[in-house]
Chain A
Amino acid sequence: MNVNPKIDELLNSFIDGEFSPRQQTEVQRLIAHDPQVGQRLRQLQKCKMLLASLPFADAPAGMLENIKASLEKKALPYEQPSPLEERQGRRHLFVRKVLAVAAMVGLMAVLASVIYSIVTPSAPPQTPLVATRTSPGPVEMVKPTLPALAAEFNGRLELKTNSFIEVDASINKAIAENDLLNCITLAREPDSSEYVLVCSRKGLSVLMADLENIWARLDSATMLIQTKEFGRPVVVNAVTPQQIGEIAGQDSFDKSIEVAKDFAALNNMADLLPGKEVLTAINDTTSAFVIIPGIPKPVLTGWPKTIKESTTQPAVAGAKVNLTITVIAGK
């Protein structure tokens, strides 16, 4: 039997009821007129019947349980977190972020301190510097010796004179007379001498009183007092023995500095005035310049008139003063 695919399609659609009633009628007419088509129709109907008669196969027992087990197995790794767990997770993440930032800041701070310690210059000297002169020429700053470290007052007195020999001799004599040889370290150059004096305040006052007579032969007398702040020293120009005694005689270093500043200002002002009338008037007890009714005459305080009497006491006892006296021959 020749098989026509088009006829087969028609017959199969007819068998399966896929045609409209009009189409069904057309196919029935075709079948009635052609026995071969009718035969083919029965063959195809038997095929359909054979398959439709095959027994229905139920799913094996336990299919539902197997599906559920399979679903649970797949769901476990992707189990959705509960809202509470999600919140806790977010909080944990936030804390971790904050800790990470804090650790980073701390690390940067440590790094910055290390870099700063490397880059910045070394720390300033921990001990005060005193002015000293070891050789002719400009004054250079050196560290004081151990006795100076123990002193409460550190100063340098620069004396310039054309009468170098006489002044130097007078200083030597005054040191010897006041029993201060043990307190003196002397460095002598052809045109300069340096006396490093470490003694009590009283010993210094006595020495200064004895040195008063050399002041007339001096061209200049300058005192430099190193401050604790390691800044510029207080420079007292045209300093007098009385002023030195008063500066060194203060009971604390701060007071000495304050007094030195006062004297520095006073001396500079007096030096600027023509004829130096102020200082002269202050020193002249008979002058009427400063006698104003109601206002007492200004006096220089702290100058002990009886210093000479105490020279018998050991000058080195309770050494708290370090004064370097430099005598320089004038040009």
Chain B
Amino acid sequence: MTETANINIDDALLIEQCRLGRSAAMERLILKYQNRIYNVILKICANPDDAAELTQETFVKVIENIDRFEARSSFYTWLFRIAVNLTLNHCQKAVRLQTKSLNAPDDDHNGDAGQQLLQEFLSDDSSPDPAAIAQNKELCRIALKALMGLDDVHRAVIVLRDIEGMDYAHIARVLGIELGTVKSRLSRARGNLRQILETVCDERKSKNRRIAK
């Protein structure tokens, strides 16, 4: 993140130089976006190895087709469209990307602590601090698992909005869908995510009751 933040070069200039075959421009373009692309892909596919491979494939495809980029949309949109399409295609093919059941036994000894934190987080009375959430690895792990519980299309929309920070119009251009579809998918994605998280909390309560008995 820090590497890309320091690179602030106009995309159009880099693309032009890239078309002229200047490898330095190509390298700077990759460095500028590689982390953001990798982060989004990882959040969608949930597998670091697959995410690295898909990121690499995205940039190779972009560089190979840089002459076809017509600048009707921004390079950023074009780049993310390629990345998300590749990732969604990969998700459809890969069986291993199936979400692990949240009911499956947790191999993490700190699982209960994370679920307790989640319960506190979801309670109507709490006012959580985002910085505190980010530092809590267990809560993040549960959140990622819940994210994987969403359908691919819903996951893609919510990742682009809440993780990458795109506005609705941008998401519509990246995914090639209508703005209304973005709204409905995002609404359903958040609703489902909330439901999954509540299910995790309910399971913890049931478990504690069984132990008490």
B-binding residues in A (CB < 8 A)? 3, 5, 8-9, 12-13, 16, 18, 39, 42-44, 46-60, 63-64, 66-68, 70-71, 74
CB contacts (< 8 Å) of B23 on chain A: these are 68
Min CB distance, A280 to chain B, in Å? 111
Q: Give Cα A289 to B128, complex, Å.
A: 161
Contact between B134 and A54 (Cβ–Cβ < 8 Å)?
yes
Q: Give Cα A54 to B46, complex, Å.
A: 13
Does B39 reach chain A (CB closer than 8 Å)? yes
By beta carbon, the residue of chain A nearest B125 is A42
Q: Give Cα A50 to B3, complex, Å.
A: 25
Is chain A's interface secondary structure helix, strand, loop, or mixed overall?
helix
Which one of A18, A39, A43, A63 contacts B34 once the chains associate, using CB atoms below 8 Å? A63
Q: Give Cα A169 to B131, complex, Å.
A: 155
- Asked, given contacts A9-B183, A63-B56, A64-B27, whether A56 binds B1 with beta carbons under 8 Å apart, the answer is yes
Contact between B52 and A9 (Cβ–Cβ < 8 Å)?
no
Contact between A49 and B130 (Cβ–Cβ < 8 Å)?
yes
User: Which B160-213 residues sit within 8 Å CB-CB of chain A?
Assistant: 161-163, 167-168, 183-184, 186-188, 190-191, 193-194, 197
**In the complex, the 3 A-B pairs of residues with the closest C-beta atoms, listed nearest first:** A59-B38, A53-B133, A51-B162
A44-B190, A59-B39 given. 8 additional CB < 8 A pairs? A5-B184, A9-B187, A50-B133, A50-B139, A51-B193, A56-B1, A57-B48, A70-B60
Q: Give Cα A51 to B42, complex, Å.
A: 13
Does B30 reach chain A (CB closer than 8 Å)? yes
Q: Give Cα A143 to B8, complex, Å.
A: 109
Min CB distance, A216 to chain B, in Å? 115
Does B43 reach chain A (CB closer than 8 Å)? yes
Is chain B's interface secondary structure helix, strand, loop, or mixed overall?
helix
- Asked, given contacts A9-B187, A54-B140, A63-B56, whether A46 binds B128 with beta carbons under 8 Å apart, the answer is yes
Does B25 reach chain A (CB closer than 8 Å)? no
Q: Give Cα A71 to B193, complex, Å.
A: 39
CB contacts (< 8 Å) of B51 on chain A: these are 57
Contact between A70 and B56 (Cβ–Cβ < 8 Å)?
yes
- Asked, given contacts A18-B167, A42-B124, whether A50 binds B56 with beta carbons under 8 Å apart, the answer is no
Contact between A54 and B124 (Cβ–Cβ < 8 Å)?
no
Most B CB contacts (10 A, CB to CB) among A18, A46, A49 go to: A46
Contact between A67 and B56 (Cβ–Cβ < 8 Å)?
yes
Min CB distance, B104 to chain A, in Å? 21
CB contacts (< 8 Å) of B190 on chain A: these are 8, 12, 44, 47-48
Contact between A46 and B121 (Cβ–Cβ < 8 Å)?
yes
Min CB distance, A11 to chain B, in Å? 8
- Asked, given contacts A18-B167, A51-B162, A52-B163, whether A44 binds B188 with beta carbons under 8 Å apart, the answer is no
CB contacts (< 8 Å) of B183 on chain A: these are 9, 12-13, 18
Does B144 reach chain A (CB closer than 8 Å)? yes
Could you tell me how many residues of chain B have their Cβ less than 8 Å away from some Cβ of chain A?
52
Q: Give Cα A306 to B30, complex, Å.
A: 124
By beta carbon, the residue of chain B nearest A11 is B187
Chain A to chain B contacts (Cβ below 8 Å), 11 pairs: A9-B187, A16-B161, A50-B121, A51-B159, A51-B162, A51-B193, A52-B163, A53-B140, A53-B143, A71-B64, A74-B64
Q: Give Cα A153 to B134, complex, Å.
A: 130
Q: Give Cα A315 to B34, complex, Å.
A: 121
Contact between B39 and A58 (Cβ–Cβ < 8 Å)?
yes
User: Which B30-70 residues sit within 8 Å CB-CB of chain A?
Assistant: 30-31, 34-35, 37-39, 42-43, 48, 51-52, 55-56, 59-60, 63-64
Contact between B34 and A47 (Cβ–Cβ < 8 Å)?
no
CB contacts (< 8 Å) of B1 on chain A: these are 56, 58
Q: Give Cα A57 to B191, complex, Å.
A: 25
Contact between A51 and B121 (Cβ–Cβ < 8 Å)?
no
- Asked, given contacts A39-B124, A51-B162, whether A63 binds B52 with beta carbons under 8 Å apart, the answer is yes
Which one of B39, B55, B131, B191 contacts A8 once the chains associate, using CB atoms below 8 Å? B191
CB contacts (< 8 Å) of B15 on chain A: these are none
Q: Give Cα A60 to B48, complex, Å.
A: 9
Q: Give Cα A70 to B58, complex, Å.
A: 11
Q: Give Cα A39 to B184, complex, Å.
A: 20
- Asked, given contacts A3-B191, A63-B34, A64-B27, whether A54 binds B163 with beta carbons under 8 Å apart, the answer is yes
By beta carbon, the residue of chain B nearest A49 is B130
Min CB distance, B127 to chain A, in Å? 9
Min CB distance, B17 to chain A, in Å? 16
CB contacts (< 8 Å) of A50 on chain B: these are 121, 133, 139, 143, 197
Min CB distance, A238 to chain B, in Å? 103
Which one of A8, A51, A67, A71 contacts B163 once the chains associate, using CB atoms below 8 Å? A51
CB contacts (< 8 Å) of B194 on chain A: these are 43-44, 46-47
By beta carbon, the residue of chain A nearest B137 is A55
Contact between A52 and B167 (Cβ–Cβ < 8 Å)?
no
Contact between B42 and A57 (Cβ–Cβ < 8 Å)?
yes
